[in-house]
Amino acid sequence: MKIEKEVTVGTEEREDVLLTLKPNPEGGIKINITGKGAEQFGEEIRSAAMSVLKEMNVENAIVEIKDNWAFDYAIRARTRAAVLAAKGEV
Amino acid sequence: MAYKLRRSRIYVPGNNPRMLSTCGLFDADVITIDLEDSIAPDQKLAARWLVAEAFKDLDFGRSEVTVRINALSTPWGRKDLEAIIPTKRVEVIYLPKTESPENIKQLDSVLEKLERESGMEVGATKIVPILESAKGVWFAYDIAVASDRVVALSFGGEDYTRDVGGERTPEGTELMWARSQVVAGAKAAGKQALDTVYSNVEDLEGLYKNTVMMKKLGFDGKAAIHPNQIPVIHEAFNPTQDEIDYALRVIQAIEEAKAKGSGVVALGRKMIDKPIVEKAERVLMIAYLAGMIEEDEIPENIRESIVKEEE
- Contacts with A4 (C-beta within 8 Å, 6 or more apart), sequence order: A23, A86
Q: Tell whether ipTM is more than 0.90.
A: yes
Burial category of B16 from C-beta neighbours within 10 Å (exposed 0-12, middle 13-18, buried 19 and up):
buried
B311 — pLDDT class (breaks 50, 70, 90)? very low
Residue in chain B closest to A52 (alpha carbons) equals: B53
What residue of A is the nearest CA neighbor of B56? Answer: A73
Taking an 8 Å cut-off on Cβ atoms, the answer to whether B49 and A72 are in contact is no
Query: Domains of chain B, with CATH numbers?
Result: 8-237 (3.20.20.60), 241-303 (no CATH)
Query: A76 and chain B: CB distance < 8 Å anywhere?
Result: yes
**pLDDT grade for B1, boundaries at 50, 70 and 90:** very low
User: Are the beta carbons of B16 and A71 separated by less than 8 Å?
Assistant: no
Query: Residue B310 — pLDDT band, cuts 50, 70, 90?
Result: very low
The chain A residue lying nearest B52, using CA atoms, is A77
Question: What pLDDT, in 10s, does the model give residues B65-101?
Answer: 999 999 999 999 999 999 999 999 999 999 999 999 9
| Contact in structure between B144 and B131 (CB atoms under 8 Å) | no
Nearest Cα to Cα of residue B255 among B306, B304, B298: B298
Instruction: Give the one of B18, B49, B79 whose C-beta lies nearest to A77's C-beta.
Output: B49
CA separation for the pair B44, B38 (Å, rounded): 10
B11: confidence class by pLDDT, cuts 50, 70, 90:
very high
Provide the residue ranges of all domains of chain A, joining segments of one domain with +. Answer: 7-86
